Amino acid sequence: MWNQIEISGTPRHTAGKWKKSTLWILPCTVSQLLSAPEISNDTFAICERELNQVSVVGVIRECSPFESIVQYSVDDMTGPPLNVKQWVNKEDCATTTDASPGTYVKVTGNLRNFRAQRYLISMNIRCIEDMNEITSHMLEVVQAHMHLTGKVYDVNMNTSLPSLVGGVSSGHPQALSNIQDQVFNAIRKSSDHNEGISLQDLKAQLHFLRMTDIRSSLTFLINEGHVFCTIDEHHFKTTGYN
């Protein structure tokens, strides 16, 4: 798990409200990195903790090779895709990952900001072959933030849980519209299957709803952490709800 690679002890408080970074790799979502406050030049914080290295898991949308770097657009469906830059070492081909659009990857790196555009300087990009790593990463994101804040979170980063079973909410997500609730329940009924439910099957079950409403509900549920994609961006399961 993520905290097994921790090197230093408990961080010391700084003069302000921010705490010193620790030498671990913090699992994050793209939306957390894009919204993290910048406390100084190229220094960001999550949960009032300075970031060192972070990891994200997502699918590559675009890949642009240049002479000295390869730039990827990585999307984990929690927000807009995040730009990732990987330096090309011509003397060591092993440092370059052969990752093409449509490939799921795990990226470890440092968050940077240039001309109001955030991106990751990649220390490592690894292609994902087991889709269970996507779920595992999201659970590690929750565990990491519970560890940093001392609070209990669900996958939506909410602290108020109706009940807990093994640390994961077993209730129903709150504040859903009628259409969002119908889409969520249809996905939940199929979450026992490894692949979840396909968009085609979801449309067939909810034939009385417009496709635009189904898609907008899916976008909301994914962004809020209630639903995630499985084998591709057209198959869905619910996250931690029975």
pLDDT reported for residue 17: 53
Q: For residue range 124-165, what is the model confidence (pLDDT) as tens digits?
A: 999 998 988 988 998 888 888 777 766 555 555 554 443 333
pLDDT per residue as tens digits for the range 22-31? 557 889 999 8
pLDDT for res 63: 93
The string of pLDDT tens digits covering residues 39-74 is 888 789 887 788 889 999 999 999 999 888 999 999
Q: What per-residue confidence (pLDDT) applies to 96?
A: 57
Predicted pLDDT at 39: 83
pLDDT band at 170 (very low <50, low <70, confident <90, very high): very low
Mean pLDDT of 169-191: 79
Whether 1 shows a pLDDT value over 60: the answer reads no
CA pseudo-torsion sign 140, 145, 151, 156? negative
> What separation in angstroms does the CA of 210 have from each of 105, 113, 191, 240?
33, 40, 22, 27
Parallel, antiparallel or unpaired: strands 227-229 and 82-87: unpaired
Q: Mean of the pLDDT values across residues 10-17?
A: 42
Distance CA 223, CA 130 (A): 22
- Mean per-residue pLDDT of the chain: 78
Position 168 scores a pLDDT of 38
DSSP string of 29-57, one letter each residue: -HHHHHHS-EEETTEEEETTEE--EEEEE
Q: What is the pLDDT of residue 54?
A: 93
pLDDT for 241: 56
* Share of residues in the chain with pLDDT > 70 (%): 75
Residues 45 and 29: their CA atoms lie apart, in Å, by 13
When pLDDT is averaged across residues 194-214 and rounded to a whole number, the result is 89
**What average pLDDT does the segment 233-238 reach?**
89
Query: Residue 112: is its pLDDT beyond 90?
Result: yes
In order of their start, the domains of the chain are 2-132 (2.40.50.140), 162-238 (1.10.10.10)
Burial 224-240 (b: 16+ CB within 10 A, else e): bbbbbbbeeeebbbbbb
Instruction: State percent of the chain over pLDDT 90.
Output: 29
